[in-house]
Amino acid sequence: MASRRESLPLFYKRRTRGGAGSARLDPRALAFFGSMLALIAVAGWLYLHQAAEVATYAHEIRVLEHNKESLHRDIAALRAEVAMLGSLERALRVGQARGYQLPSAADTTRRVRVEIAVEPLSQTVTSTTSVIPITLYQSEPVVSTKSFVQDLVDQFRIWADSPASPRGEP
């Protein structure tokens, strides 16, 4: 008899009273298995949630890594472009196209030769500015120190003699 009772399907139990062979649902077993099912569902949900989160972050990292690699390649390409643009070969070609010529190392006329004629200093100090003549062996314009100072003084005088602004503004 006991073996027959044990062989009843899950969640069923034999009625203690009533008709022969009758059975009814076991609420305690149902509750137990229901709770277990709920727990498994929660655990499963947690697992899936975490897995999804990990996968999302992993994907984001992968995308960032892709971007980094792409930028890395861009840097390489730009550096190569800089290298090619700065090449001596190109500089010479462009220069030649614009009519420039490399100077010859033997051409010493390119060098500015400044010869300063040193005159003996006068014993007494005078108010006039003594100017040492400078000879330039080049076709550069010679700037006279005297005229520059004179111009400055003249400009100062003009400014000093000019009337003040009627509104007192500078």
One symbol per residue from 50 to 69: x for binding other proteins (CB under 8 A), - otherwise; what is it? Answer: ----xx--xx-xx--x---x
For other proteins, which stretch binds (CB under 8 A), given 4-12, 27-35, 118-126, 127-135? 4-12
**The total number of residues written for the chain in this structure:** 170
Look-up: residue for tokens 């947690």? 46
Q: Which is nearer to other proteins, 81 or 151 (CB)?
A: 81
Site for other proteins in 72-91 (CB under 8 A): 72-77, 79-84, 86-90
Q: Which stretch binds other proteins (CB under 8 A): 6-14, 38-46, 126-134, 157-165?
A: 6-14
Q: How far apart are the first and last CA of the chain?
A: 124
User: What does the binding site for other proteins look like in residue numbers (CB under 8 A)?
Assistant: 1, 4, 7-9, 20-21, 23, 54-55, 58-59, 61-62, 65, 69, 72-77, 79-84, 86-90, 105-106
